[in-house]
Chains A and B, each alone.
Chain A
Amino acid sequence: MLEVHDLTKTFGSMTAVSHESFTIQPGEIMGLIGQNGAGKTTTFRMLLNFLTPDSGTIMWNGQPLTAKAYDQIGYLPEERGLYPKMRVEEQIVYFARLRGMKTAAVKAQIPAWLDRFQVKGKRTDKIKDLSKGNQQKVQLIATLIHMPKLVILDEPFSGLDPVNASLLQAGIEMLRDHGAAIIYSSHDMGNVEAISDHLVMLRNGEVVLNGTVDAIRQSFGRTKLFLESPLTKQQLQATPGVVQVVAHGSGFELTLSDPAVGKTLFAQATANGYIPEFRQAPPTLDEIFRMKAGAAHA
């Protein structure tokens, strides 16, 4: 279990992370979201001991997270790097040995991993001869092959096409099923919503959201309404409690100040019977992200 408690880091007069706390259980995936400069990478660097927090603690299974735990960590940096002149197998073996694996054990497992990520290329190919996508897959294999118990992925989905993104997602879920605690950052709220058990959002170094994806969304209430009915835009706008009306094709997307307004609108819309669409939902993660990020400038 990873426990981050009250972490603060400043660079001169700039506060990069302020009183950050979260917990990741084994078998749990946590998404760390936030705009560029929100403090995500600084958080990872403190977890990895590249930076020392000004205050606060990082505990791994009840112990401070130090070099002793390095073999249990799998880390994928935001900017990927491999040795261009090394062969695929040599590259994976080297990184895995640095995580304490035996050469024979790594070599035995490489075929299964190349298969799992559908790497197009032989294990004797040089890294520079692989396509960018395949290089990224090799990097992922090198990050995960030692079956880390704490997986730290900085923007793992960036640059991946949808097929490769789903392969990565499957890989992450496989490690979760083996009991790994996983933390990753992403700008793509679709991915975050799909695989995160838990979410932390940073804004200017402060935690502004912390909880399960569902709980966070529900905490905003069902303030979004997707409606296709005989009611006109003017009629909708005139209804008290409707903040915003945006036309989408033949329907409208409404933002409500109070979820209870939904009942009034349902009654009005169905006054003459059947309507094709009435869906009242909490805001999407993407909308919450924009809302929270935008609040910084308010």
Chain B
Amino acid sequence: MPKFWVVFSQVYKKNLHSGSWLFLVLSPLVFAALAGLMGYFIAQNVQPAQVAVVSSTPALRQAIVKTSDDQVHFRGYASAAKANTALNHETLDGILTVTTTPAIGAHYVERSNADQSVDTTTLTATLSRLKLQQTAAQLHLTAGQLAALLSPAKVTTKTVAIENGKQVAKNDTAAAVNRGFAMVLTVFIMIITMVYGSILAQEIATEKGSRIMEILLSSVSATTQFFGKLAGILALLVTQIVVYVVAGGLAWFFLRERDFVKGLLAQVDLSVLASPITLIAVLFFVIGVMTYAVLAALTGSLVSNQEQVQTAVMPISMLGLAGYFLAMIAQSGDSLLVQVASYVPFLNITVMPVQLALDHVGYGAAWTSLVIAGVFLIGFTWVVVGVYRSNVLVYSDAGFIKRLRTSLSIWQAERHPRA
């Protein structure tokens, strides 16, 4: 078996069995399952509030009883005495006493320990509607006149994006979905790049700190080892995504007939997922993960001993957080800082997809930034592969930047065709 695959399978299998990776993959699934179960049981236990309607007018009683829904269940009572007895026996949550003179009004008495409290605004709305009908009848208004009286003034809205100095119409519901999409995307990219960057940085830093690196580099060329590790880490990421897709598929298969899932899906317009934004976001994600992984290999290989392993992870966390905050700033509006950041390597990975999803920039700008990210990744990888090899000889307690400079100077002195 070529040595690339030996390194690859070692990195992959070792992390697959590690507690931290399993926790990373399984914890969101466990939380989602728990949240789902809790929501399910809460939904099962919610019963409508039992409210007595006390009125001397049977028609009015009937009209109110008809408005019963999931929240409130009205029962008609002709006398207040019977209703109060039921309330004292705690079979009722409250009593709504309705009066008709001079106009429709009501008084609501609720048990302090009611199973289900009633929102008085819904009671007010129900009664207001009845009062409106009564008043309209008294004024001899027709249904058409009543409708004309009640119809509000119309305000229509249209969202436009400015592209090349022209206004281009944008669907505003799509904009809302885009905003949510951008938010989820930012968090997802940040977590994945930082977590996998950290795994790789620790992996390499541990090897460097424990001097295993010297043995490895006398067995396998630095380039083979470097790409074997990178591929192993990316395979872990792919495994995690496959686990989520399978789990999502299973959940969909079993839950799609459930009412609350149907209700949830009906509210979301998923058409944005089929747009070019998704493609660009996925490309940024792939390039982003790889760029951070290469950075992780660099910082990991600069470590001198086990105590410095944490310092290898720090630059990754800092850049990741910077990108995250800039993406947050982008969500609150377009600014020069964000515009610049959306082309800067490491930062553009989170900032540009958000800018695009929010229509702050067009596709042209996004592709440009993507090309910059891709070219940077290739160049960065080339430099890091070289530095990685010379880093094995740099053992120093000096700061990160100083170690990086030493390593770069060795690399420059050592550049030769045998690499």
Contacts and interface: CB of A to CB of B under 8 A. Distances in A.
Contact of B211 (A70, A73, A81, A98): A81
Nearest to B305: A79
B289 to A, nearest CB: 25
A86 to B, nearest CB: 8
A86 B14 CA distance: 9
User: Interface size class for chain B?
Assistant: 20 to 34
Nearest to A48: B218
B393 A50 contact: yes
Contact of B216 (A49, A73, A98, A152): A98
Interface string B217-245: 11111000000000000000000000000
Interface in A135-185: 142-143, 152
Interface in B364-390: 389
B253 to A, nearest CB: 38
A216 to B, nearest CB: 30
Nearest to B409: A12
Contacts of B211: 77, 79-81
B129 interface: no
Contacts of A82: 210, 212
Given A51-B393, A98-B3, A81 B219 contact: no
Contacts of A237: none
Contact of B1 (A94, A95, A97): A97
B158 interface: no
B392 interface: yes
B207 interface: yes
B219 A66 contact: no
B163 interface: no
B133 interface: no
Interface string B1-16: 1010011001000100
B334 interface: no
A50 B219 contact: no
Contacts, number: 63
B3 A81 contact: no
B219 A70 contact: yes
A99 interface: yes
A95 B10 contact: no
B416 interface: yes
A98 B418 contact: no
Contact of B418 (A49, A73, A77, A95): A49
Contacts of A52: 414, 416, 418
A143 B216 CA distance: 11
Given A48-B218, A81-B207, A98 B6 contact: yes
B215 interface: yes
Given A45-B393, A52-B418, A97-B1, A81 B220 contact: no
A252 interface: no
A75 interface: yes
Contact of A70 (B214, B220, B389): B220
A94 B10 contact: yes
A77 B215 contact: yes
B82 to A, nearest CB: 75
Interface residues of A, number: 28
A66 B212 contact: no
Contacts of A99: 219
A104 interface: no
B111 to A, nearest CB: 61
Contact of B210 (A50, A81, A98, A152): A81
A67 B221 contact: yes
A61 B177 CA distance: 68
A181 B218 CA distance: 17
Interface string B167-210: 00000000000000000000000000000000000000011001
Contacts of A49: 418
B221 to A, nearest CB: 5
A182 to B, nearest CB: 15
Interface string A47-65: 0111110000000000000
A124 to B, nearest CB: 14
Contacts of B393: 45, 50-51
Interface in A36-54: 45, 48-52
Interface in B129-147: none
Contacts of B216: 98
A82 B207 CA distance: 8
B14 to A, nearest CB: 8
Contacts of B206: 83
Given A51-B393, A80-B211, A73 B218 contact: yes
Given A49-B418, A52-B418, A95 B215 contact: yes
Contacts of A97: 1, 6
A181 to B, nearest CB: 15
Nearest to B209: A81
Nearest to A68: B221
B276 to A, nearest CB: 44
A206 B392 CA distance: 25
A93 to B, nearest CB: 10
Contacts of A45: 393
B310 to A, nearest CB: 17
B219 A98 contact: yes
Contacts of A73: 218-219
B12 to A, nearest CB: 13
B10 A77 contact: no
A94 B219 CA distance: 11
18 contacts: A45-B393, A50-B217, A50-B393, A52-B414, A70-B218, A70-B221, A73-B219, A75-B214, A75-B215, A77-B215, A81-B210, A81-B211, A81-B212, A83-B212, A86-B14, A98-B220, A100-B3, A152-B218
Interface of B: 1, 3, 6-7, 10, 14, 206-207, 210-221, 389, 392-393, 414, 416, 418
Which 5 pairs of residues, A with B, have the shortest CB-CB distance?
A81-B211, A81-B210, A98-B219, A81-B212, A75-B218
Interface of A: 45, 48-52, 66-67, 70, 73, 75, 77, 79-84, 86, 94-95, 97-100, 142-143, 152
Given A50-B214, A70-B220, A84-B210, 12 more contacts: A48-B217, A48-B218, A50-B217, A66-B418, A67-B221, A75-B215, A81-B210, A81-B212, A95-B215, A98-B6, A98-B216, A142-B215
